[in-house]
Structure 1
Amino acid sequence: MTTPTIDVHAHVLLPAVEALVAGLPGHAEARELDARRNGPAALAVNGPMVGERVPRLTDPAVRLAAMDAQGVDVQLVSPSPSHYHYWADEETARKVYRLANEATAAHCSAAPDRLRGLGLVPLQHPDLAVRALEHALEQGLLGVEVSSHAPGRELSDPAYEPLWSRAEETGALVFLHPFGCTLDERLDRWYLSNTVGQPTENAVALSHLIFSGTLDRHPGLKLIAAHGGGYLPTHIGRSDHAWSARSDAGAGCAHLPSSYLKRLYFDSLVHDPHVLRELIRVAGADRVLLGSDFPFDMGTEDPLGALRAARLSDADFDAVRGGNAATLLTEGLS
C-alpha cells in the first residue's frame, strides 16, 4: 500500500471565533498592534488575499478539491494563527479555545479519513493550557497549535512545564507557528514582518526550548516547527559554538544544541531546495514533514513540486512526502 501524501501545515479560518471576540476590551488594541507591526502596505494586500481564499479556508469540499489538485491525500489542519487572541482575559480565552477546538473538529469531520485537526491553547493563561489541550484531544484533535511566545512569556517559562508534561504523556502534537514579531515597526515595510519576522520568531522560540533544558525534561515531546524551524537549523553551528565556549550559554541544556534538532520535527516550507536539503542534513530525513501553509500566499501551491526540487533520494523523498507524518499522525494517543 502506497504511503499517503500528508501536508502538516494547512489552516482553517473560523469566523465564529472572530465574531466572539469582536468589540471586546483589548481586541481593538491588539488589532492596532498588528497593524503597526505589518504596516499599511501589507494590510492592503492581506485583506483581498485572505478574502479570495475564504472558500478554501472554510468549505471542506473546496479544500478537498484543492488537495486533489495538489496531489495531497491528508492535511493536518490548524486554526489560522490570527485566532490566537493572546490578549484575551481568562473568561474570553476559555471561550476562544473551546470554540476553536470544536469548530476545527467539525470542519475535519466532513472527511475524517483526509482531514485531521489541531486545536488552540491560551498561552497567556498557563493555568488554562493543560485543560485546553485536553479539550482538544476530547474533540478528536491530535494536539494543539501555539505561537512562539505570549505577552511577557517565552516558551521556556516554567509556567508551561505542565503543558509540555501533559503533551508528552498523551502523545499530543504541538505545532509551533509564530504569529507576530516583537521587532515591531522595524519590519513594517516590504512584508518584512513575515519574511524576516516569522523565521526569526521560530529561531528564538526553538532556542528557548533547547537552551532552557525543556527538551531535556521532555524528550518525548512531539513538536513540529513551522517554516522549517526558521533561521535556526541553518545557523545552528553558532549555537553549538556558544554552548561550547561560554558558561552562560551552556548552563541550561545537557547536550550540543544541534543534537536537539533530531528530537524535533520540521515542516518542509523553506522556499529553497538547498535550504531544504540542509534542514534534512542537520535534522535527519526522518524529522522533516511536508508542509504547504495552505492556502495562504506565503505558502506553496505545489508542495510536492517544491519537495522534488530538492532532488532527494527516493527513500528520503517518500519519508518527507508522507512516511514520517503517517507514523506521527497514526500513533495512538494514550
Structure 2
Amino acid sequence: MTTPPTVDVHAHLLLPDVEALVEGLPGLAEAKALDARRNGPAALAVNGPMVRERIPLLIDVTARLAAMDAQGVDVQLVSPSPSHYHYWTDEETAEKLYRLANEATAAHCSAAPGRLRGLGLVPLQHPHLLTAALGHALEQGLAGVEISSHAPGRELSDPAYEPFWTRAEETGALVFLHPFGCTLDERLDRWYLSNTVGQPTENAVALSHLIFSGVLDRHPGLKVIAAHGGGYLPTHIGRSDHAWTTRSDAGAGCAHLPSSYLRHLYFDSLVHDPSVLRELVRVAGPDRVLLGSDFPFDMGTRDPVGALRAARLPEADFDAVRGGNAAALLSLGVTP
C-alpha cells in the first residue's frame, strides 16, 4: 500500500520584479483604474492591508513551508498572483514579463524542490507569443502555465489560440485557469461581489467557451485545471445540456453533451461548501478534483484538508482528491 502526498494545486506567489517592470508604463494607470471600478472603494480598502500582511507567505520560502507544515500540505503547485497577468502590455514588455515571471517562479520553487512545483505565465493578449512563452516555462522546469478566463477582445475559444492548445496538449503541460477581473464591471463594485460572484461567473464562461467551441474535442489530451471548482458551471451544467439537446445553435460547436466534458477537465476543491464539493466530485468524477486552498489569500481556506474532510467522501475518493490525482498529474512519487 502507498499513500499519496497531500498536494495543494492552488497556491500563489508575489513577484515584485514583475511589478517593477511595468511601473510607469503607458497603460498601467488605465488598468489600475479599471480594476478600481470593478472592485469599488470598499473592497480596495480591505485588499491592501490583507495582501500586505500576507507578503511573507507570498515571497518567503521558509514562511511558506512553515505554513504548509501547519496545514498538513506536503507539496504546493505555486502560481503567480493573477495580478501579474498585465494583459494590457505591448509585445516587447509582454515577452520580458513572462520570462521574468517564469524564471522568478522557478527560482522560488528551486529553494524547496521536493515540496514546491511551479506554473508560469503566458501573454494571452498576444496569441502568437504563447507557444514560445509556454516553451520557456517548461524549460525552467515549471509544470505548465496559469491563464485568465479571457484577454481583452478574445475568449478562450478564439481560433488564434489553437497553436497554444496544440502545444500544451503535445507537451502535457498543465494549464491552470484562474480568472482575474470580471467583465460585469461596476455591477459588482459593492460587497466584494467582484470576487464572490465575478470569479465563479468568469470560470463558467471560460469553461463554456472551451466546451461549446469544440476546443476539448480537438484537444482531448489537454490538462486544464479550473480554479474555484470551475465556478457555477459544474453545478448548473444541466442547463447547458438542455440547450445542447434542444437548440441547433447551442449544439453546433461540440460533438458531445456538455456535461460529458467535465470528466475531461480538472477542478480544484475550493468551493467553500461541503455539499457543493460532493456534487463537484459526482459530476466530474473523483479522479478529476484536486485539493486547492488559494494560499494565502483571504478568499481561500487555511485548512484545505479539513474542508475536504467535511465533504465526507468515501476514503478512496478523499485520498484521490487530497493528493493522489495531483501526484499523478505532477509525476510525484508516493511514500509507503
TM interval, short-chain normalised = over 0.9
Which residue does the alignment assign to 1:28? 29
Q: Normalising by structure 1, what TM-score?
A: 0.99
Paired with 2:331 and 2:133, the residues of 1 have a C-alpha distance of: 22
- In structure 2, give the amino acid aligned to 1:21: V
1:103 aligns with 2:104: yes
Which residue does the alignment assign to 2:64? 63
Which residue does the alignment assign to 1:123? 124
Note the C-alpha offset of 1:285: 0.2
- In structure 2, give the amino acid aligned to 1:241: H
Paired with 1:40 and 1:92, the residues of 2 have a C-alpha distance of: 29
Which residue does the alignment assign to 1:275? 276
**CA offsets 1:33-86 (integer angstroms, 9 cap, x no match):** 000000000000000000000000000000000000000000000000000000
- In structure 1, give the amino acid aligned to 2:165: W
**CA offsets 1:303-332 (integer angstroms, 9 cap, x no match):** 001000000000000000000000001189
Note the C-alpha offset of 1:2: 2.1
Which residue does the alignment assign to 1:234? 235
Which residue does the alignment assign to 1:144? 145
- In structure 2, give the amino acid aligned to 1:73: D
Which residue does the alignment assign to 1:299? 300
Which segments of structure 1 move beyond 2 Å, counting only runs of 4 or more? none
1:220 aligns with 2:221: yes
SS where residue 330 of structure 1 aligns?
A: coil
Which residue does the alignment assign to 1:163? 164
Unpaired segments ≥5 residues, structure 1: none
SS where residue 111 of structure 1 aligns?
A: coil
Paired with 2:4 and 2:233, the residues of 1 have a C-alpha distance of: 30
SS where residue 54 of structure 2 aligns?
A: helix
Note the C-alpha offset of 1:282: 0.3
Note the C-alpha offset of 1:171: 0.3
Note the C-alpha offset of 1:237: 0.2
SS where residue 285 of structure 1 aligns?
A: coil
Q: Normalising by structure 2, what TM-score?
A: 0.98
SS where residue 117 of structure 2 aligns?
A: strand
**CA offsets 1:189-219 (integer angstroms, 9 cap, x no match):** 0000000000000000000000000000000
Paired with 1:173 and 1:167, the residues of 2 have a C-alpha distance of: 7
Matches within 5 A, 1:185-334: 185-330=186-331
Paired with 1:164 and 1:329, the residues of 2 have a C-alpha distance of: 19
Paired with 1:331 and 1:204, the residues of 2 have a C-alpha distance of: 32
SS where residue 7 of structure 1 aligns?
A: strand
- In structure 2, give the amino acid aligned to 1:269: L
SS where residue 144 of structure 1 aligns?
A: strand
Paired with 2:257 and 2:93, the residues of 1 have a C-alpha distance of: 41
1:80 aligns with 2:99: no
Paired with 2:87 and 2:331, the residues of 1 have a C-alpha distance of: 30
Note the C-alpha offset of 1:233: 0.1
Which residue does the alignment assign to 2:91? 90
SS where residue 165 of structure 2 aligns?
A: helix
**CA offsets 1:118-175 (integer angstroms, 9 cap, x no match):** 0000000000010000000000000000000000000000000000000000000000
Paired with 1:235 and 1:323, the residues of 2 have a C-alpha distance of: 27
**RMSD of equivalent CA atoms:** 0.9
Aligned residues, how many?
Answer: 332
- In structure 1, give the amino acid aligned to 2:95: R
Paired with 2:308 and 2:284, the residues of 1 have a C-alpha distance of: 16
